[in-house]
Each structure stands twice: as structure tokens, then as C-alpha cells.
Amino acid sequence: MEGIWLIAFVLQWILLLLLAVLMGGVLRLLGSVQQRLQLVAPPTSRFELGERVSDFELPDLDGRLFTSNSVVGFNQKVLLLFLNITCISCKTVVERVAELANQGRRLKELGWSFILICHGGPAEVKDLVTPLASQDVVVVIDGEGIVYQQYGIRAFPAGIAIDSLGRVIDQSTNVGSSWLYRVLGAPVPAHPLV
């Protein structure tokens, strides 16, 4: 009888070792699948590079109707920044644009028009864009998310850079300082912004 118990004991440990090796392989496979899925990021918008964006009309902070085609075609590129009042990263983007504007040059001197399309109520949007009060930035309110749906924006903050003809030249949902400086062609300050 002792021999059978010894054989059962050894077989149990062999099965546990095989199970551990199998679990290690499964976890490695799941890790590689996860890496592949992260490499294929979801698109920023429904527009492809080179495609012309559609026009929109939204109220600005003063309640006047702003049309996007009023800034297209004037030999200036346009940076559309899609922000949400509850998004902490969106507040950081506003601060980065304000810092960029305060580097001794006005934003228009960079050759760009800035349009901030903010999702939220007028009072909250005013709080969000306070650092940009005196800058060359158009702030419009998309309280119902109409343009977000029309453009297929899936995450906040998002940025779409368009040329003077309204065609997409770059876009990202990682709208940090490095993307802003790269797209705008602005020199990076001595103290780089995160």
C-alpha cells in the first residue's frame, strides 16, 4: 500500500508542475496579445489623414454662433482641441496652450488658429478656459456633444490639426506638450512641459 501512496504523491507533484508550466505559458500568451492590442490604438476621429473635416456651427462663450468654415482658407492651419469640463488632462492641455502663448509670442504668430471645442455647460467651460482669457483662442461650447459625434471623437482630450484647406494633417488623443510642440513646429522651452 505504501508504494501506491508514494506513486500518487509523485504523480500529484508532477501534475502540479505541469499545471504551473501551462499557466505560465497561458499568461505569456495573454501578455503578448495585450501588447499587440495596445499597439493598435483606436483612431482619434472618423477622419483619415488628408481627408477634409466637416464644418460645424456652435455657440462661443458669448452665445454668438461660430462656424468652423470662418477660419478655414486664410493661409493658417487650425488646431481643433476637443475638451471636456470634467477631464483633468483637458485642464492640463489648456494650461499648456496658455504657457505656449505666454512664451513671448501670440498664438497667431505661430501660423495657427486655435479652436477649443468644449463639452459642458457655459459656466463650467469658462472655468476650464480661464488661463486663456486674453489669448487668440476661439472657445465654443458643444454641450450636447453634437460635434463630438459628428467627428467620431472617442476620448478626451483629442486634437486634430488641419491645414488651411480643412484637411487633416495630424491627430491624437495623446495631446500632451510634446504633441503640441511637434504639430505647431514651436521650439520646445528650456524647461520641457510634461
Scan for cell 502540479, then name that residue: 16
pLDDT, residue 193, reads: 47
Scan for cell 504639430, then name that residue: 183
pLDDT, residue 51, reads: 93
In a shared domain, residues 98 and 126: yes
3 state DSSP class of 37: helix
Domain encompassing residue 3: 1-40
CA angle 177, 178, 181 (to 5 degrees): 80
In a shared domain, residues 23 and 110: no
| pLDDT tens digits, one per residue of 65-95 | 999 888 776 778 899 999 999 989 999 999 8
In a shared domain, residues 24 and 101: no
Specify if 148 maps to a domain: yes
In a shared domain, residues 177 and 142: yes
Residue 35 phi, psi dihedral angles, 5° rounding: -65, -45
The pTM of the full predicted model, rounded to 2 decimals, is 0.74
